[in-house]
Structure 1
């Protein structure tokens, strides 16, 4: 087992990793920018190192500073959390060259799954169902038209190196294709330095379903069920459920087995998530995230398995602590991402939290690194906390969520709490009857 883990992140996920490490008896090192000197994970860590000024590129994305912090403190492993350097293959390679363990998959697997075209090829080879589309990047408008005609309109054009909705455009007809192709390429080049794009069939009313997997790096893999992440705004998740209200037991078992076998055959090590669009009983691969997800908490709620403990165990060479037969699902869980944003316009709302009170009681968990008097800096993601609610079934979970939202108090800034209080009372949400377009349509109506 590791002696000392450096946490290369900030906010609630840094605190989440710190708690897991302490429970395992492992020393912790917090790194931070000058803007995060008073952050909770910095206060609670055994050691802390300032790695630069507020801009991420000069601190949390500064690989050389983080490696230097490891050498100064004697950390023998790094947990990247999510975001920042968590899916940076170069970072994983550099740590390995310095005999420091990256708590995550190999750099090669990060590269494969970070390239959307190569990821799709790999998924297909591993037996994972994929969306019909181009075999690789489309070279020009002529090829794009040929592919679109073969798979049928509407189609969606995506950046090969993309994510978060950037470099993604829909063409409903051939007349839309030229401008959609040009726009997607321009956005992809500006956002990722790579204007390669590919084409897929555009599904009209899909759900966003993701399967949590773990591999031991030596040919064994398991799945821990699925999460439904269909409530999104601009391709950003805000509400997640486990298990999905849209799947039945047979579908859950089928896609889970496919994913577990795939990561085993890939020789994958650590946590990962295989994401799908789901429509009319069929699953279509989108991408694989080679890291811990924000919403890992609801999988922990329904399985009772600490995913960060498991990450550390696998990375240290201890293998998986469970087999597939050991994993059981209990009840239903929902996570709401609490952001420091206006609940209608979603404009960020940095500032000082004057009063912070979290809900409690059976089945309630709040992951947050903020506190009363904490000043939210304007430099980073607006996520300030996650409310996770677990119940014996979805009805109990929804009732418990309603109660918890009423108890949650964050004063001094605007947050998305009012939006969740609205959603929990909506009949479509109560019935689990929504797709990936539902929230944006709901917000556009001003309901």
Structure 2
């Protein structure tokens, strides 16, 4: 995997950075990325990804440094492989994720207020009722697809309701979110196939995010009210509704799906949650650390800088391997062990710093509620075959996870 030489795109890396020849977006790597991430960490704190002509950081300390220094390693050049400062963007940049201060402060303030812990707290009772009803129904039928029937179905109901979307057509949210996160990687076959199928979903998204189609009192309506108050423009309000959908939906779906896969694989860990549902939130944090929803995204240097002993020029893309940092044995004890008793509050699954994932609180809330609802009724998750991975350039999760839910009262 390691060699010294020029990369395929004709750019020579700075001295001191080991050259990595693997493709981090290949199906082979994505099927089980953690051994490859370990090789990258062992190669050095900063490496050169030959195929894409970019540097990468995979150790916890290096990832933390890049994410917390937004002035040197910016998001405004795009959190994907394309450099918006030197290349013409093929899409509009996110007005929260891909802008710097002061523009970032203005839009993020509105967004964060609407998705504040206080606002989400008002939804908890309704979210809990929906989760309990869903689990009761699925336990009664015994066999389900954990992705389709739980990880997707629950957020598509409760979060889409909270945003204010009409009930019809919500299936379009799935290909839309898939495209958003595929776009943060290279324009590979996965990206192109996703884009080719997107037309109807884009049209639906653009229509339902208009003010007239959002229910009164919803998160979406609040964004337009902020525009009425002059905090943002009305065009920005529509863009932020779309941002809310991508920030708060796919992250939740993959987090819940990954949790179900972990607990089916490690029944002793599910037993610990079942016996003490109070650790559900802590268990979700361990899921986020162990099998991170986000695997990677990019930052870009704003000026010449020395990072891990290597001199970098301005406008240099850096691949930030979030999932690798969350398995770094120099930071975590027994890093490759899934342990719900661990207190992994410092995990970087949703990033950190001013550009941490804007929808992370809703993802954590929904996942915790679903876990507690399952703990109340399900003694064992029995996996019916191997889960099917969903391949995406940025996020990791499953497309199918067949389960038998064994209820407490039915267990012999």
Settle same-fold status: TM greater than 0.5.
no
Give the TM-score band, short-chain normalised.
under 0.3
From the two aligned structures, give the one with the greater strand fraction.
Answer: 1
Query: Higher relative contact order by CA 8 Å / sep ≥ 6: 1 or 2?
Result: 2
Instruction: Name the TM-score, length of structure 1 as normaliser.
Output: 0.25
Instruction: Name the TM-score, length of structure 2 as normaliser.
Output: 0.26
